């Protein structure tokens, strides 16, 4: 599947349910349609979101929307074993990347999401004891049966991606990227995505609320002031500036927007059509780091 099939801005649904906005079915249906109207056709899930409830809530809303399945793309993730009311048999949080768990998780997600296939299945976290051959066998079965179309990873280092890529094609790495988490720019992660033509998806682009949330941390407050000064200089909204920063990178980063507010998602969408210069990009970088580049 060409990477162009995924929208440049991805709607992250983690906070649509009980972990955030607590949208009802009608509200979710309206938000799904609103995203599509703006060209946001890709929706990012994980089996654990909402304590294993958000996939099913979204799936119900999607079914009621009447939107054709081929009009959008669904990403979901598996591998984190987290106790919840829906999973009382899990006694301790851990990772499971076994063949059986991956296949069972996909089957559950398909039922919850009310779809016949998942566009991109992602292993949510790297396990210290993951076996690439186990993962390869699961992905081969799921692709052959038509239940998934592509496979990716999340939060994997370059070496961990190489390990999995030795057995199965890795099409994406979903990683934390924001002005508060810049390591992927310098540790080879984004370089590796460019080299292998993998899609980099940026989760928590606003730094998990660090861009806006109240804080007494002087270091964070100084950092935000520096970022605000750059945004003010160019008449940008703060979140608009962050999207411009991510979208400028040649690796074709796809920000995963965590907001459930259509106006915040629209800021990300509108940013796609704005071009910044390399010099402006480095201004944002220097504001985020607090120092000029060498």
Q: Give the number of domains in the chain.
A: 1
Residue 244 lies in a domain: no
Per-residue model confidence as pLDDT tens digits over 90-107: 989 999 999 999 999 999
Residue 277 lies in a domain: no
**Mind telling me the catalytic residues?**
49
**Exposure of 265 in the CB half-sphere (CA atoms within 13 A):** 28
Residue 232 lies in a domain: no
Stretches where the chain sits below pLDDT 50 are: 1-2
Residue 238 lies in a domain: no
67: CATH: 3.20.20.100
Q: Which domain holds residue 191?
A: 3-213+250-272
Helix pair 262-271, 238-247: axis angle to 10 deg: 40
Residue 44 lies in a domain: yes
Per-residue model confidence as pLDDT tens digits over 201-245: 999 999 988 999 999 999 999 999 999 999 999 999 999 999 999
Residue 283 lies in a domain: no
* Per-residue pLDDT at 1: 41
Residue 41 lies in a domain: yes
Q: What angle do CA 35, 37, 41 make, to 5 degrees?
A: 50
How does strand 80-81 pair with strand 94-95?
antiparallel
Q: What angle do CA 267, 34, 179 make, to 5 degrees?
A: 30
Burial class (CB in 10 A: 0-12, 13-18, 19+), 3: middle
Considering the entire predicted model, what is its pTM?
Answer: 0.96
* Per-residue pLDDT at 3: 55
* Per-residue pLDDT at 237: 95
Residue 205 lies in a domain: yes
N-terminal to C-terminal alpha carbon distance within the chain: 40
């Amino acid at each position: 599947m060409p990477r162009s099939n995924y929208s440049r801005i991805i709607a992250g649904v983690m906070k649509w349910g009980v972990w955030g906005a607590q949208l009802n079915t009608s509200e979710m249906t309206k938000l799904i349609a609103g995203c599509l109207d703006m060209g946001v056709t890709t929706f990012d899930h994980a089996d654990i979101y909402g304590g294993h409830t958000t996939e099913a809530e979204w799936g119900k809303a999607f079914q009621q929307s009447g939107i054709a399945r081929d009009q959008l793309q669904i990403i979901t993730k598996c591998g984190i074993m987290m106790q919840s009311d829906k999973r009382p048999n899990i006694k301790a949080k851990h990772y499971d990347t076994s063949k059986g768990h991956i296949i069972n998780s996909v089957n559950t997600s398909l039922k919850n999401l009310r779809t016949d296939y998942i566009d991109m299945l992602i292993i949510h976290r790297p396990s210290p004891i993951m076996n690439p051959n186990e993962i390869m066998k699961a992905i081969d079965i799921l692709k052959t049966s038509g239940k998934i179309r592509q496979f990716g990873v999340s939060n994997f280092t370059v070496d961990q991606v190489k390990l999995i890529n030795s057995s199965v094609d890795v099409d994406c790495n979903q990683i934390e990227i924001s002005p508060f988490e810049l390591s992927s720019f310098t540790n080879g992660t984004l370089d590796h995505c460019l080299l292998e033509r993998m899609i980099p998806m940026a989760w928590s682009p606003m730094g998990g609320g660090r861009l806006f949330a109240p804080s007494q941390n002087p270091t964070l407050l100084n950092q935000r002031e520096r970022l605000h000064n750059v945004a003010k200089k160019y008449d940008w909204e703060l979140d608009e500036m962050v999207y411009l920063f991510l979208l400028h990178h040649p690796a074709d980063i796809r920000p995963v927007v965590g907001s459930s507010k259509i106006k915040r998602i629209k800021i990300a969408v509108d940013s796609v059509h704005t071009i910044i210069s390399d010099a402006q990009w480095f201004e944002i970088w220097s504001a985020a780091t607090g120092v000029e580049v060498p």
